[in-house]
Structure 1
Amino acid sequence: MLSYRHSYHAGNHADVLKHCVLSLCLESLKEKDKPFLYLDTHSGAGRYLLQSEHSAKTGEYLSGIAKVWEQPQIPEILSSYLSVLKYYNRSETLKYYPGSPLIAKQLLRPQDKLQLTEIHSSDYPLLRQEFSKDDRAQVSRADGFLQLKSKLPPESRRGLILIDPSYEIKDDYQKIPDELKEGYKRFATGTYLIWYPVVNRRQTQGMIDGIINTGIKRILQIELAIRPDNNQKGMTASGMIVVNPPWKLKQQMQEILPWLKNILDPQDMGHILVKELVSE
């Protein structure tokens, strides 16, 4: 039985990186009038109360989104991401953190669609409630990886797919290259975002090597570390693998990552990375 709950980790440094990339990619797709699909394979509950028992137990958001929120000046690149945070926190107090589905909900247009999947018995009803009045959204309780086969390609032939498992099931590291390849086979022009944690660097690198070996072209890697790799328990870094990245994304991340690292890694223990893994 799955036990992972993102409510313990919402708003941490990994969420900040992931949602910066997500918001930039969504904004890029909106530059054309034609509608697109946002498909989220592992959606979670959607919204997270940062004063909840789960969040208070770890306090991870305090060294993540809280650090960004308290900055007097925010770079323009982050304006879309911050606009969603401000929508769900309409006072100066940071109370809620919106997960990927709610970021997409706020940034998508009336003509766009959302396909959201969550299998956890506690999080699925919360997600369904969040989208109960949104006609653009379909919320399913199912294996998120199966959506890469059943929901692709979208009717619009435009889309962004977020693959964001908890990696609670260790097979996910081996599974993702194959699942990505299946989705890409059906929808080769879509933008795919694969989030990954760095807990065991060898395990993570094995997954990345597997993605490179799929034969898929145009793959970008983005990574933010707040501590050096080590053998201790806990996530030291996280990253995003982006297939078919928007043309501006590499430059945007090269511009914003130093600022994020300065905020999230004030002791300068980690690193940043923007690397083209596979070219055209």
Structure 2
Amino acid sequence: MFSYRHAFHAGNHADVLKHMTLVATLKHLMHKEPGLTLIDTHAGAGLYRLDGDYSETGAEAQYGIFKLLTALENHTAIPEALQDYLDVMAHFNPNGKAKIYPGSPFIIQHLMRHAARDRLKLFEMHPTDAKTLASNVAQLDAGRAIMIAREDGFESLKKLLPPPPSATGSRRAMVLMDPSYEIKSDYGKVTSTIQDCLKRFATGTYVVWYPIIARVEAHDLPKRLKTLANQAQKSWLHATLSIGRHADGTTAGLAASGMVVINPPFSLKDKLREAIDVVGPVLARGTGHSFSLEHS
């Protein structure tokens, strides 16, 4: 159950898609003044060394953030959503060299607004990652703005929805759900949890990452999520990115992933499409690469 460690995959193409989508979603949600309850159900360790033993073992960042940064060094027309993501990366690497990769908790924390009293709830079950996450977050001295719990994010999410009202009385929340899917049952848990979320708090924004692999559950997940959104009469966005195969026909690990956002900010589809149109070709390798974005 606890064998998965995101440190092996930090900064890969899936992280680029996931975190570019996350940053763009947060940026647009924060155009409105009322505070946000921000929830990460599978937080991981929070920060990752790209020159550490874990990252170098899989060397997945070379097909993700490293390749992206190299390709864009002299690029003069970078789409807004992509630039916002790159700005976050630069914040954690002020010397210009990508040595630190921020996970979702630190990306969210970096964008949180003190004046609006945004609040972040983090859940992580892996004993080592939970301990590392707590240590990393402690350095932020964020006080009560961030809560960490070593609990099942699927179950613990229920007690947080609907979120408490902000100072203005409005209720706003964004949930990021990106389990490892190492356990096949995670696919069903994502579906049932989103279904429950839409009943508890139908106006929340729900951001789900999933791997695109040769498994029925992975193929069905985005369909099920879109069906749930349609049944609840809520809008959705579905983005995918496949970097394709090596020249010898191998994939060497995960080659594709997708994002489903339920109740996305109105402008997200155009901003994210512009960014993916750049990122897709840049990260492509060999044959079979593709990228897409659809919405309701």
1:127 aligns with 2:133: yes
Inter-CA distance 188–231: structure 2 relative to 1 (3 Å threshold): farther
Given that residues 154 and 189 in structure 2 are in contact (C-alpha distance below 8 angstroms), is that contact kept between their aligned partners in structure 1? no
Q: Is this contact kept in 1: 2:23–2:81, CA < 8 A?
A: no
Q: Report how far residue 80 of structure 1 moved.
A: 2.4
CA deviation string 1:55-98 (max 9, x = no partner): 11100001100112222234333232222211111112110100
**Residue number in structure 2 paired with 1:96:** 100
Quote how far apart the aligned CAs of 1:233 are. Answer: 7.2
Indicate the SS of the match to 2:127.
Answer: coil
Q: Could you tell me whether the CA contact under 8 Å between 2:244 and 2:251 is conserved in 1?
A: no
Distance 1:32 1:68 in 2: 31
SS at 1:33's partner residue? Answer: coil
| 1:12-27 map, 5 Å | 12-27=12-27
* Structure 1 CA distance for aligned equivalents of residues 277 and 227 of structure 2: 30
Aligned-partner Cα distance in 2 for 1:187–1:231: 43
2:184 maps to 1:167:
no
- Please identify, of 150-159 and 72-81, the stretch whose mean Cα deviation from structure 2 is larger: 72-81
| Aligned twin of 1:213 | 227
Listed one character per residue, the Cα deviations across residues 158-190 of structure 1 (whole Å, up to 9, x for unaligned) are 011000100011111122111101111111111
The amino acid across from 1:24 in the alignment is A
* Structure 2: runs of 5 or more not aligned: 166-170
Q: What amino acid does structure 1 have at the position aligned with 2:104?
A: S
Alignment of 1:8-157 (within 5 A): 8-70=8-70, 71-72=72-73, 73=75, 74-110=78-114, 111-132=117-138, 133-135=141-143, 136-156=145-165, 157=171
SS in structure 2 of the partner of residue 3 of structure 1: coil
- Answering whether residue 269 of structure 2 is matched by residue 250 of structure 1, we say yes
1:48 and 1:75, CA in 2 relative to 1: closer, same or farther beyond 3 A? same
The amino acid of 2:175's aligned partner reads I
Answer yes or no: is the 8 Å Cα contact 2:92–2:101 preserved in 1.
Answer: yes
CA gap of 1:267–1:233, structure 2 versus 1, over 3 A, is closer
> How far has the Cα of 1:147 moved from its partner?
2.5
Does structure 1 residue 224 correspond to structure 2 residue 232? no
| In structure 2, distance between residues paired with 1:104 and 1:212 | 25
Amino acid at match of 1:218: S
Do 1:43 and 1:118's aligned partners in 2 also have CA atoms closer than 8 Å? yes
SS in 2 for 1:114: strand
Q: Take 2:31 and 2:82, find their aligned partners in 1: how far apart are those partners?
A: 17
- 2:214 maps to a residue whose letter is N
1:187 corresponds, among 201, 217, 220, to 201
Give the TM-score taking structure 2 as reference length.
Answer: 0.88
Cα distance, 1:256 vs structure 2? 1.3
Q: TM-score, normalised by structure 1?
A: 0.93
CA distance in 2, matches of 1:233, 1:53: 18
CA spacing shift, 1:259–1:146, aligned 2, 3 Å: same
Report the AA paired with residue 192 of structure 2.
Answer: D
Q: CA deviation at 1:238?
A: 0.5
TM-superposed CA distance for 1:254, in Å, is: 1.7
* Deviation, structure 1 residue 26: 0.4
For the 8 Å contact 1:39–1:160, the answer to whether it is kept is yes
8 Å contact 2:81–2:272 — kept in the other structure? no
Aligned-partner Cα distance in 1 for 2:191–2:162: 18
Count of aligned pairs: 276
Q: Give the 3-state SS of the residue equivalent to 1:31 in structure 2.
A: coil
8 Å CA contact retained: 1:257, 1:272: yes
Distance in 1, matches of 2:148 and 2:136, equals: 10
On the 8 A contact 1:81/1:103 being kept in 2, the answer is no
C-alpha deviation, 1:107, in angstroms: 0.7
Conserved 8 A contact 2:24-2:272 = no
Q: Aligned in 2, Cα 1:221/1:52: closer, same or farther, shift over 3 Å?
A: same
- Contact 2:36–2:118 at 8 Å: present in 1 too? yes
Cα 1:170/1:105, change in 2 over 3 Å: same
